[in-house]
C-alpha cells in the first residue's frame, strides 16, 4: 500500500516539474524593480552628476584652435602691419586693418591651411579684401582736406622709416603709372617677398597666368621708369 502511494507521488512530481520553479520566479520578479524604474534611477544619477560634456568638448576645441593661432599671429602681425602701411591711408589705421584681418582669420580658423606657406598666402588673401574694403570706405569720406592728406603722407614716411632717394622716388612714380593689378603684383613680389605664383594666388590668378602678368608688368615698369 505504501509502495502504491509513493509511486503516485513520484508520478505527480514528474508531471508538474515547473510548478515550484514558476512560483519561485514569480517571487523574484516581484522583488526586482521594473525596467522603467531602472531607467528613472539612471536618469536621476545623470542629473545629479551635473556634467556638461558638450561644453567640455567645445572648450577643448577652442583651446586647440588658440594653440594653433597664437604662433601664427606672432609670425604674421609685423608683415601684415607693413602690408597695410604701404597701402592704406591714413597710415595710422594700418594696425587696425591688421587686427581686422586677424579677426577674420580667427572666425574662419577651420579653413586654416596645413602648411606655413599656405597659411601666409591665405592670410594675405584676407588682408587684400580688408584693404579693398578700407579703400571703399575712404572714398566715401569727404571730410579730409588737402592739408590733412599731406600731413598723413608725412606721417607715413616717419612710421615706415623710408627716406626716399631720387631713384626710389622715380621708381615709385613709375610704379604708379602701371595698371592697378600690375602694381599690386609687383608690390607683393618686391615689397612683401612672395614668389610670383604665391602672389598670383593672392590675386586670384593661376601660376601660369601670374607668371605671364608678372613678365608683362616688369616690362611696363621698365618703360615707365625710363620716362619717369
Q: Looking at residue 221, which CATH number applies to its domain? A: 1.10.10.10
Which of 131, 163, 195 marks a domain boundary? 163
Percentage of residues in the chain having pLDDT higher than 90: 45
Which pLDDT score is estimated for 215?
94
Summarize pLDDT for 34-43 with one digit per residue, the tens. Answer: 444 454 544 5
Which of 142, 163, 184 marks a domain boundary? 163
Which pLDDT score is estimated for 158?
57
Question: Do 154 and 66 share a structural domain?
Answer: yes
**Distances 51 to 46, 57, 73, 83 between C-alpha atoms, Å:** 8, 12, 34, 47
Summarize pLDDT for 82-127 with one digit per residue, the tens. Answer: 999 999 988 899 999 999 999 999 999 999 999 999 999 999 999 9
Question: Do 92 and 184 share a structural domain?
Answer: no
Within a domain: residue 70? yes
Question: Do 176 and 107 share a structural domain?
Answer: no
Question: Do 154 and 171 share a structural domain?
Answer: no
Question: Do 183 and 152 share a structural domain?
Answer: no
Percentage of residues in the chain having pLDDT higher than 70: 62
pTM, to two decimals: 0.51
Within a domain: residue 123? yes
Question: Do 198 and 152 share a structural domain?
Answer: no
- Total domains in the fold of the chain: 2
Which pLDDT score is estimated for 167?
74
In this structure, the number of other CB atoms found within 10 A of the CB of residue 96 comes to: 14
Summarize pLDDT for 189-225 with one digit per residue, the tens. Answer: 988 889 999 999 999 999 999 999 999 999 999 999 8
- Domain residues for the domain of 194 are 164-228
Q: Which three cell numbers stand for residue 176?
A: 604708379
Amino acid at each position: 500500500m505504501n509502495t502504491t502511494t509513493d509511486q503516485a507521488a513520484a508520478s505527480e512530481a514528474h508531471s508538474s516539474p515547473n510548478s515550484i520553479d514558476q512560483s519561485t520566479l514569480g517571487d523574484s520578479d516581484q522583488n526586482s524593480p521594473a525596467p522603467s524604474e531602472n531607467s528613472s534611477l539612471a536618469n536621476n544619477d545623470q542629473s545629479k552628476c551635473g556634467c556638461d560634456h558638450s561644453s567640455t568638448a567645445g572648450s577643448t576645441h577652442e583651446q586647440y584652435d588658440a594653440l594653433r593661432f597664437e604662433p601664427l599671429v606672432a609670425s604674421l602681425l609685423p608683415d601684415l602691419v607693413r602690408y597695410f602701411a604701404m597701402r592704406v591711408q591714413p597710415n595710422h589705421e594700418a594696425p587696425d586693418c591688421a587686427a581686422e584681418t586677424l579677426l577674420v582669420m580667427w572666425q574662419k580658423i577651420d579653413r586654416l591651411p596645413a602648411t606655413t606657406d599656405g597659411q601666409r598666402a591665405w592670410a594675405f588673401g584676407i588682408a587684400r579684401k580688408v584693404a579693398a574694403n578700407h579703400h571703399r570706405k575712404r572714398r566715401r569720406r569727404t571730410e579730409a582736406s588737402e592739408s590733412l592728406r599731406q600731413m598723413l603722407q608725412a606721417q607715413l614716411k616717419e612710421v615706415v622709416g623710408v627716406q626716399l632717394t631720387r631713384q626710389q622716388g622715380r621708381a615709385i612714380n613709375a610704379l604708379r603709372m602701371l595698371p592697378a593689378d600690375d602694381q599690386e603684383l609687383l608690390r607683393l613680389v618686391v615689397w612683401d617677398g612672395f614668389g610670383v605664383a604665391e602672389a598670383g594666388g593672392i590675386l586670384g590668378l593661376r601660376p601660369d597666368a601670374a607668371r605671364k602678368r608678372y613678365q608683362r608688368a616688369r616690362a611696363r615698369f621698365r618703360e615707365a621708369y625710363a620716362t619717369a
